[in-house]
A and B are shown apart, each in its own frame.
With several copies, the nearest count.
Chain A
Amino acid sequence: MSRPSPGRFRLQAPPNLDAEHGLDLLRTMVRIRRFEERCVELYSAAKIRGFLHLYIGEEAIATGVMAAIDLDDAAVSTYREHGHAIAKGIGTDVIMAEMLGKVDGVSRGRGGSMHLFDAATRFYGGNAIVAGGIPLAVGLALADKLQGHDRVTVCFFGEGAVDEGAFHESINLASLWNLPVLFACENNHYSMGMALTRAEAQTDLALKAASYAVPAWRVDGMDVLAVEEATRKAVTAIRGGEGPVFIEYETYRFRAHSMYDPDLYRDPDEVAAWKQRDPIPALASLLTELGHLDEDGLATIEAEADAEIDVAVTFAESSPLEPLDDLERFVVSEVTP
């Protein structure tokens, strides 16, 4: 199969690339990367537990997508969500506190890695049932439309979610009702150990979207600039009332599915080839070529990210645990809205 091969290698600079914007994208990707690398350490130190699904290698998608949407647009994510959460604007401190199960965590320690939620940034979780968040995104968009809000909901899911009936029922409804949803399919070619080619009889995902009359594009998910540009176009169309769009972002996870996964099912050469396409050095060299970045600049970005994560870890470590007496809080609401 040719699909899982990494494709073309170098980023193309759009003619109008603003230096500061390019650097911002780089900063976000580096922050996500560093955050997750620290999570691996904390996992080894048994401070983070449960499932930990890393986004390493896929940072260009969250970064480019969030750069293309507005602050009050909504996002719905999966269990592989640190990147989405950080790029959406949630603080790494409260995310880290969540990873450690602390009361200052975004979900007060009840969610952990897979269930980050943040009302302030309209981040609607963190869903650990494959495809379980997709109908929620349709509903969020329906509510926006009914209330006359000019807002878009971005729904992230993996290519594996396309196997689930929930995806089909949801995209049909979104299309039928012409709702402002971006179906953001992160095709990293594997769902756990299952290659897309072994899971879907037809691996051209655009055909599935087309069968619901939803326009579908395929984008290089390792190219943050391409991700941003395509997403911006889609979001403009969606906001313009043209109904949902499906974008397949082609990407690859550099690490195993989760910390439990021995990763026996992927060819090391395939992994190595994709690692050559790491979106972070790719953007860094482009910015360097364009004269927007030098070694010092990159070092500063990395150091700032490290420092931020240091602060986040300190915050998380020093955050208290939820008192045991509060275990049964939030099963039902405490206030009537």
Chain B
Amino acid sequence: MTATDATTRPTPETVRMTLREAHKQSLRAALDHDERVFLMGEDIGAYGGCFAVTMGLLDEYGPERIRDTPLSEIAIVGTAIGAAMNGMRPIAEIMTCNFSLLAMDQIINNAATLLHMSGGQFNVPVVIRTTAGAGRQLAAQHSHSFEPYFAHVPGIRVVSLATHADARGVLAPALEDPDPVILFEYPRLMTMEAEVPVDPDIVDLSSAAIRRPGSDVTVVTYGATQHTVLDAAEALAADGIDAEVIDLRSLRPLDDATVFASVARTHRAVVVEEAWRTVGLGAEVAARIAEEAFYDLDAPVARIGCAEVPLPYAKHLEDAAIPQVESIVAEVRRVMHRG
């Protein structure tokens, strides 16, 4: 058990926990609820999980259900797909999305494709958990944000989990989904704590979430970055700018209706993401807003993404590469004073 798991005792209604613990609770609930569920991935068992999310589960559920695998990303994903086609509900873990590049063929050419290619005969109820994001000085090969790659592909559902409620609520619907679901978790948020209801909220993970209502400008984001955006929104509020912050949450399909409705009220939009800006999710959101809410807009939609560099190790460079409170505030201000 990690130090942060040993938090203060719950009041009758709420309990304080880390996001790591929220993820783990959700896995435990899935394992308890459906005996077809099993976990497989690198170091999820004896090691306790790369980010300690699965710590303890091996002891609780045993090696048949918590399956440590060799370092074989193709086989991990492909085997999970096969097991899903044959009656099981595997939850496969690819430690980080950086390594998911090794499994892209299985994810796209098999998981996303088999149902259609088989004329509807073989659905693939696999859940793939992975992580994304920079901010821990892990340098280029460990800091990618590949949500946009998966959001591009028909046949998979993509959900990003950056709050306790979403983390705890996700696995029930994900496992009910007859089709592949890819879950993004965010290592740099694992120790984030929150007071949450003892019983997890039911969340609709196919919808976007308005994390902060506001009337002046819509800031659309997803993943860990939303916490930076919320901080920026507070800074802007102090300055008289009331930003509405939308967490896309479901990255495929996109709940653009929530975005359009917001823009119809605010008339201005900024999209903030940690992935590279070019051909990112921000491009998609900006394009959709321009298509569907063009006449609502008082200014062009602005986008902030990762600087177009492989993520550097040095902290000042890494910080400069990814969206920060200051850069978000500056961009929102720019959009507010224009048009």
Contact = CB atoms under 8 A, between A and B. Distances in A.
Does chain A touch chain B in the assembled complex, meaning CB atoms less than 8 Å apart? yes
Interface of A: 49-51, 74, 76, 98, 101-102, 105-112, 114-115, 117-119, 124-132, 134-144, 146-147, 160-161, 163-166, 169-170, 172-173, 176-177, 191-195, 198-200, 261-262, 264-265, 321-322, 324, 327-337
Interface in B94-118: 98-99, 102, 105-106, 109-110, 114-118
Most buried by B among A124, A132, A191, A328: A132
Given A129-B110, A160-B71, A192-B50, 11 more contacts: A76-B82, A98-B313, A101-B313, A109-B312, A136-B78, A136-B82, A147-B86, A170-B74, A191-B71, A193-B48, A330-B119
Taking residues whose C-beta sits less than 8 angstroms from the other chain, chain B's interface range is: 35 or more
A19 B118 CA distance: 37
Given A136-B81, A139-B83, A337 B125 contact: yes
Given A129-B98, A172-B72, A335-B178, A110 B43 contact: no
A102 B307 CA distance: 20
Contacts of B219: none
Interface stretch (B9-17, B136-144, B262-270, B286-294): B136-144
Contacts of B73: 164, 169
A125 B117 contact: yes
A126 B47 CA distance: 24
A124 B85 CA distance: 9
B29 interface: no
B261 interface: no
Nearest to B78: A135
Interface in B131-161: 136-142, 154-155, 157
B239 interface: no
A168 to B, nearest CB: 8
Contacts of B69: 173, 199
B136 A114 contact: no
B246 to A, nearest CB: 24
Interface in B146-200: 154-155, 157, 176, 178-179
B141 A114 contact: yes
A135 B307 CA distance: 29
A135 B313 contact: no
B315 to A, nearest CB: 6
B272 interface: no
Contacts of A193: 43, 45-48, 68
25 contacts: A50-B138, A74-B86, A101-B315, A110-B139, A110-B140, A110-B312, A111-B140, A124-B85, A139-B86, A141-B82, A142-B83, A146-B88, A173-B75, A173-B79, A193-B46, A194-B43, A265-B46, A324-B316, A327-B312, A328-B307, A330-B119, A332-B179, A333-B178, A334-B120, A336-B178
Contacts of B64: 146
Contacts of B75: 135, 138, 166, 169-170, 172-173
A124 B122 CA distance: 8
Nearest to A131: B71
A136 B110 contact: yes
B121 interface: yes
